[in-house]
Chains A and B, each alone.
Chain A
Amino acid sequence: MTDTRTVRVEILSRVEGEGALHIETRRGKLERVELQIYEPPRLFESLLRGRPLEETPDITARICGICPVAYQMTAVHALERALGVQITPEIRRLRRLLYCGEWIESHALHMHLLHAPDFLGYDSGIAMAADHPLEVNRGLRLKKHGNQLLEVLGGRAIHPINVAVGGFHRAPRREQLQRLIPDFEWGLEAAIEATRWAASLPIPEYTRDYDFVALQPGDEYPFNEGPVASSRGGRVAVTEYEQHYEEVHVAHSTALQSETLPGRECYHVGPLARLALNRDRLAEPARRLADDLLLESPCRNPFRSIVARGLELVHAYAEALEILRSYRNCVPHRITYTPRQATGCAATEAPRGLIFHRYTINDAGQIEFAKIVPPTSQNQKQIEDDLRDWLPHLLDRPDDELARKAEELVRNYDPCISCSTHFLKVHRHDH
């Protein structure tokens, strides 16, 4: 018998993009765990240099087919800060509505078709559909609502083109939004039902003492602004983000990994982090549901992120309905500005967690410098840390089961590898 063992998951399944997982043990003890992101870096920051700032929303939306809104909206907010643009309350509400659409689309898909199969013992959402058609159809219908909202506000569901620095190229008509209300009223009830279903799934008992990091605005659930808060204490302005969090290269990944400064520790972004830091800011139906479900506060079980996503799904429907019902018009729909040499940064909340952008522009209105920090690269070190903590309890399992358990842990984070490389396969070595 050899005293070394290697398990590789060559391609992580049910995640966006391509990455691998390498697990190495020696004499029955875990020696190395690497989340290997080998998808080539896509270098969007370089693509942006020299381009007119007006093109930034469209180019950044192309980073991800799943969460284009978060990319383009973070870019827009950062550029507006550089230019000193003050948007109107109406533009701001429409932007929050756009975020609701993206969260609904992303969370509904992940809960029903990507995450739930892990708890019900299926290899895929496709396999689950044969036995759970009602749940799968519900998830698909909710997802469709998100796309419908993106289409009305973004001009189209794929890579929305209506978002502009200063506002929107065109404001939606009231009747366009009002037509969505009956579907969203059904969706709110279905989202509550989906969250109760998620909470009833056989979720593993496992907790960690996370450093949760999320935006924490004054009086609303975080989408598009707010200081950056940590569950370990402290809130910093977004302009100070880079003094507290830094991206570093690691040899086994084409994506950068983020860590805290000065401690160089991992941290956790995403639904669990947002909920830990903002539970009292949830819309009333979501807050009441969290209490009904006796969800601990903060919830430190990464597998229960499916419940956190459900609560955020409920929140997104509730907030969307409030905006849809009250919308009259948006005049003006876009604030004008004069290009100037300046630097601006912003952080918003993508479905997978906090996203940070910083841009420098010149007097001609061209991008001179761009920095984009996506949520998955911020979670990458945390995922490896979770695996190092969890896998030692599972080393007596056969390779295929160990690989499956490792993948399940990774999927708690709904990683978007394509975003992080602007990311999985498990490799296990026993020495």
Chain B
Amino acid sequence: MTIEGPPVCFVGIGSPHGDDVAGWRVAERLRQRQLAGWEVHSAATPIDLLDWVSPDRPLWVADACRGENETGNWQVWQWPCERLDVIWGGGTHDFSLPGVLTLAHRLGRLPIDVRLWGIWGSEFAAGQGAGDHLPAVVDQVVDDIVQTWCRAGEVPDVLPKNMPGGGHA
């Protein structure tokens, strides 16, 4: 018997530029799965997630992160986590993803369950297409998100399954 967790507010953050589209692709795939009770949103900037975040439902986020040597891998973290500032330190108007989560927390709007799927990429320039690796990685991330939801109640994997430092090849 599959036990599903509570409905999730999911936000895929991205842009049309190169591998930065990863968060949007994950959101598109999750919409197609029509998961019961889920809100699935696409955002161009992290601060847009404040439009939807609520303390009474888990907030799960997918976003691309830059790393030449880790392109094609992905990783999952649970907020708060100091490393997030290193990975997602920049953002529009300095509203980085960790910054926006801190803001939501200070405003009492952040749920307890906040998870971040980071998808490593290397090409983020305007006019570039996403890397060939992306469809397969998006599939893996979507599967992991759904499996995590089905395992609701379990302690999430905050650390890597396959790679030291966190990630999946």
Contact = CB atoms under 8 A, between A and B. Distances in A.
Q: Do A and B come from one complex?
A: yes
Interface of A: 13-16, 18, 40, 42-44, 47, 62-63, 65-66, 109, 113-114, 124-126, 129-130, 133, 136-137, 140, 143-144, 147, 156-159
Interface residues of B, number: 26
A62 B126 contact: yes
A147 B41 CA distance: 12
A47 B126 contact: yes
Given A15-B93, A62-B17, A125 B103 contact: yes
B42 A158 contact: yes
Nearest 3 Cβ contacts at the A-B interface: A65-B44, A158-B44, A42-B126
A109 B47 contact: yes
Contact of A140 (B44, B50, B90, B108): B50
A159 to B, nearest CB: 7
Interface of B: 15-17, 24, 42-45, 47-48, 50-51, 90, 92-95, 99, 102-103, 106-108, 125-127
A58 to B, nearest CB: 9
B133 to A, nearest CB: 22
B92 A144 contact: no
B51 A13 contact: no
B43 A158 contact: yes
B106 A156 contact: no
Contacts of A137: 107
B93 A16 contact: yes
A143 B48 CA distance: 9
A124 B126 contact: no
Contact of A14 (B16, B43, B44, B94): B94
A126 B102 contact: yes
A206 to B, nearest CB: 24
Given A133-B107, A144-B51, A158-B44, A47 B92 contact: no
B93 A44 contact: no
24 contacts: A13-B94, A42-B126, A43-B126, A47-B126, A47-B127, A62-B16, A65-B45, A65-B92, A66-B45, A66-B93, A109-B47, A113-B93, A125-B95, A126-B99, A126-B102, A130-B106, A133-B107, A133-B108, A140-B50, A147-B48, A156-B42, A157-B44, A158-B43, A159-B16
B107 A66 contact: no
Contacts of A147: 48, 51
Contact of B93 (A62, A114, A136, A144): A114
